[in-house]
Chain A
Amino acid sequence: MRNLLPILTVLLAIVAIWYVAAIGMNSTWARDQAARAETRLSAGDLVIQTLTLERPVLPAPHQVAAGLWEGIAGQKITSKRSLVWHGWITLSATLTGFAIGSLAGILLAVGIVHDRAMDQSVMPWAVASQTVPILAIAPMVIVVFASAGITGLLPKAVIAAWLSFFPVLVGMVKGLRTPDRMQLDLMRSWSASRPQMFWRLRLPSSLPYLFASLKVGIAAALVGTIVGELPAGASAGLGARLLSGSYYGQTVQIWAALFAAAALAAGLVIAVGRIEAVTLRRMGLAR
């Protein structure tokens, strides 16, 4: 709550800068148009024109807000013009990919902390795997899946999974290794078995780390889904919306889709945060 005022202030400043920038960036176009029509623009007209262009270089905040409102509330949510509908398509692929990715990350992490060979083999390549520009080869991934007869949600989800597995893996490995020597020794002095050590010590101590990386992972999954949606331009989803907006030069549509995606990202991160808070409180880890 005490952050509200600063946040609002900063937001206000951003909006103000945005308006000034919109006027600046759109003015060339407005002047050119006037020159083509061989009219002269007064300063007032210029401002009004730059903030109401059909295809602005930078749309003004109120234009984006109108675009968002139109996309969210102005349509039936089943309409193809509804941002809610596209958001849902993106969300479902994101969640599927996130589920696959985090599961893979967790399982790999479990393997890595329990098996030395796996630790030494997989870990260096896991880092390398993230330097593969999966985003640039997303179209190929889509095509390769299509060739196996798999289309729609899954190929996007796989790209999302690829991006989200890494933070989860790293966080989970770190988490599973947090129990210090003393805690492990205690377990050993009670001659606990490996599974007992895992379920009663490693897993619970890793949870705070897991949740921290899940938050990063779900944001990454959303990026992956959107990128997966870009090349398959005709399909639905916020990425497709971004692309078709770009294709038809509808900047307002791009920005509206972008803000919808941002809201989705924030919502997902907050949702994971909520689950984290509840889980940790149940476990007595939150104070």
Chain B
Amino acid sequence: QELTLQLKWVTQAQFGGYYVAKDKGFYEEEGLDVTIKAGGPDIAPTQVLAGGGADVIVEWMPAALAAREKGLPLVNIAQPFKSSGMMLTCLKESGITDPKTDFAGKTLGVWFAGNEYPFLSWMHTLGLSTEGGTDGVTVLKQGFNVDPLLQKQAACISTMTYNEYWQVIDAGIAPEDLVTFKYEDQGVATLEDGLYVLESTLEDEAKVADLEKFVRASMKGWKYAEENPEEAAEIVLENDETGAQTIEHQTRMMTEIAKLTAGSNGALDEADYQRTVDILLAGGSDPVISKEPEGAWSHAITDKALAE
């Protein structure tokens, strides 16, 4: 059976579980032929899914719920990532110590293309406008790298615990010179890297059966990756076509990722879901979603996949 998975970003240890499952033959054991499509900076997985270019996508829940409200009926079928890896990383010299008081008037780097929702929700809870000015923050569409921080074009930039943060460190800035604010710690963490399909897919029994096998094999891959970060990193490296990744960086990323996947067996935790929804709904005048979504997740797949 053929199945296509669209990733959210370029080939890296963030998606280690899937690459391990493919490389170790876990998918094959289930009788699946899985194609993994790498993503990229301006590729919206939701659009790929809607267009029929993939059967399953890896997406962050805010983007998925926003798309759902736009009329694209996405359903979360599994949630391998338990916690969020998002944070804002600031230069100590910018003088920021407390988000509640110090962000005003500062320039912050943010990822867009569907990744801006958690940030916007956070700023809303802080009561900060994102339109600039002295009592708001100036937002930069952050490009592909951490240069804005290094060039001091922004006081803080978005980073992931497992990736960009380490690039800042690698660039020669000592951890002591940095201040970080994890979304988890700020109480604005939203679910990342879940598996989503279209509602219609779940009505097709054959597809559902395939998805069960897929989720089962993927989780096996994730757990294997958690335990063998070095091997997983090597597998990722082999699958990277650009040849730009380094084993050190990927191994470290795998180790960090393992911390985020640790608490999940693959099934979506309803409480996490509700927390994400609440944060997103709290958006005030321009909320990410305007009403409580319905049917945005299903345990149908994980219940069967993780049964034994």
Whether the pair A146, B51 counts as a contact (CB closer than 8 A) is: yes
Complex partner residue of B40 from A85, A234, A245, CB under 8 angstroms: A234
**Cα distance A190–B289 in the bound complex, in angstroms:** 75
A235 with B145, Cβ < 8 A, contacts A80-B240, A146-B48, A147-B52 known: no
Question: A61-69, A117-125, A137-145, A196-204: which one contacts chain B?
Answer: A137-145
Q: Name which of B9, B43, B52, B174 has the most chain A CB atoms within 10 A of its CB.
A: B43
Residue A205 at the chain B interface, CB threshold 8 Å: no
Interface residues in A, total, Cβ within 8 A:
40
Decide if A246 touches B242 in the complex (CB within 8 Å): no
Q: Is A81 an interface residue (CB 8 A)?
A: yes
Q: What B residues does A54 contact at CB under 8 A?
A: 171-172
CB interface residues, A 55-99, toward B, < 8 Å: 55, 57, 79-82, 85-86
State whether the Cβ of A241 lies closer than 8 Å to any Cβ in chain B: yes
Residue A159 interfacial (CB < 8 Å): no
Q: Is A111 an interface residue (CB 8 A)?
A: no
**Does A151 reach chain B (CB closer than 8 Å)?**
yes
Tally of contact residues, B, Cβ under 8 A: 39
Residues from chain A with Cβ under 8 Å of B177 in the complex:
36
Say yes or no: A144-B145 contact (C-beta < 8 A), given A55-B171, A233-B41.
Answer: no
* B161 smallest CB distance to A (angstroms): 17
* In the complex, chain A residues whose CB is within 8 Å of the CB of B242: 80, 86, 233-236, 240-241, 243-244
Question: Would you list which residues of chain B between 143 and 186 have a CB under 8 Å from chain A?
Answer: 143-147, 150-151, 167, 171-174, 177
Contact among A81, A143, A234, A240 for B44, CB-based, below 8 A:
A143
A249–B147 contact, CB under 8 A? Answer: yes
User: B206 in the interface, Cβ–Cβ < 8 Å?
Assistant: no
Name the interface residues of B105-150: CB closer than 8 Å to any CB of A.
Answer: 143-147, 150
B39 within 8 A of A: yes
Q: Which residue of B lies closest to A71 (CB)?
A: B243
Q: Tell me if A146 and B53 are in contact (CB < 8 A).
A: yes
Contact with B along A21-60 (1 / 0, CB 8 A): 0000000010001001000000000000000001101000
* Known interface pairs A36-B174, A146-B48, A247-B10; A232-B244 also in contact (CB < 8 Å): no
Contact indicator A231/B48 (Cβ below 8 Å): no
Q: How far is the CA of A243 from the CA of B242 in the complex (A)?
A: 9
- B98 within 8 Å of A by Cβ? no
B42 interface residue per 8 A CB criterion: yes
A249 adjacent to B39 (CB under 8 Å): no
B146 contact set on A, CB distance < 8 A: 249
B227 proximal to A (CB < 8 A): no
Bound together, the chains give a CA A197 to CA B47 distance in angstroms of: 50
Residues of A within 8 A of B218 (CB): none
- A232–B47 contact, CB under 8 A? no
Q: Which residues of B contact A57 (CB under 8 A)?
A: 151
Output the least CB separation between B274 and chain A (Å): 32
| Set of chain A residues within 8 Å of B51, measured between Cβ atoms | 143-144, 146-147
> Does B259 count as interface, using CB distance less than 8 angstroms?
no
- Contact at A249–B171, with CB atoms within 8 Å? yes
Contact residues in A for B249 (Cβ distance below 8 Å): 248
Does B38 lie at the interface of the complex (its beta carbon under 8 Å from any beta carbon of A)? Answer: yes
Rounded to whole angstroms, the CA-CA distance of A26 and B47 in the bound complex is 41
Q: Is A164 an interface residue (CB 8 A)?
A: no
Partner of B144 from the list A86, A143, A234, A243 (CB cut-off 8 Å) is A243
Inter-subunit contact A249/B145 (CB<8 Å): yes
A6 at the interface (CB under 8 A from B): no
Q: How far is the CB of A255 from chain B (nearest CB, A)?
A: 14
CA distance in complex: A230, B50 (Å): 22
- Complex CA gap A253/B243 in Å reads 11
Chain A residue, CB-CB nearest to B53? A146
Is B243 within 8 A of A79, CB to CB? yes
Q: Within 8 Å CB of A240, what residues of B? A: 241-242
Once the chains bind, are A142 and B241 in contact (CB under 8 Å)? no
B53 touches A243 (CB 8 A): no
Do residues B145 and A248 form an inter-chain contact, with CB atoms below 8 A? yes
Alpha-carbon distance between A28 and B257 when the two chains are bound, in angstroms: 34
A273 to B208 alpha-carbon distance, docked (Å)? 57
Query: B89 at interface (Cβ–Cβ under 8 A)?
Result: no
- A235→B7 CA distance, assembly (Å): 12
The answer, among B7, B47, B172, for a CB contact under 8 Å with A33, is B172
With a CB–CB cut-off of 8 A, which chain A residues contact B143? 246
Contacts of B46-63 to chain A: CB distance below 8 A: 47-48, 50-54
Shortest distance between the CB of A231 and any CB in chain B (Å)? 4
Per the 8 Å Cβ criterion, residues 241-257 of B in contact with A are 241-245, 249
Q: Is B37 an interface residue (CB 8 A)?
A: yes
Q: A245 near B243 (CB under 8 angstroms)?
A: no
Cα–Cα distance between A149 and B37 once the two chains are bound (Å): 12
**B244 touching A244 by the CB < 8 A rule?**
yes
Asked whether any CB of chain A lies closer than 8 Å to the CB of B276, the reply is no
In the complex the two chains form, what is the Cα distance from A263 to B180 in whole Å? 43
Does the CB pair A241–B244 fall under 8 Å? yes
Chain A residues at the B interface, C-beta cutoff of 8 Å = 29, 33, 36, 54-55, 57, 79-82, 85-86, 139-140, 142-144, 146-149, 151, 230-236, 240-241, 243-250, 253
A80-B242, A143-B44 known; 5 new pairs, CB 8 Å cut-off, are A81-B243, A143-B47, A231-B40, A234-B242, A249-B146
Return 19 A-B CB contacts under 8 Å, by A number: A54-B171, A79-B243, A86-B243, A139-B40, A139-B44, A146-B54, A147-B48, A151-B37, A231-B42, A235-B242, A236-B242, A241-B242, A243-B242, A244-B242, A245-B244, A246-B144, A248-B167, A249-B146, A249-B171
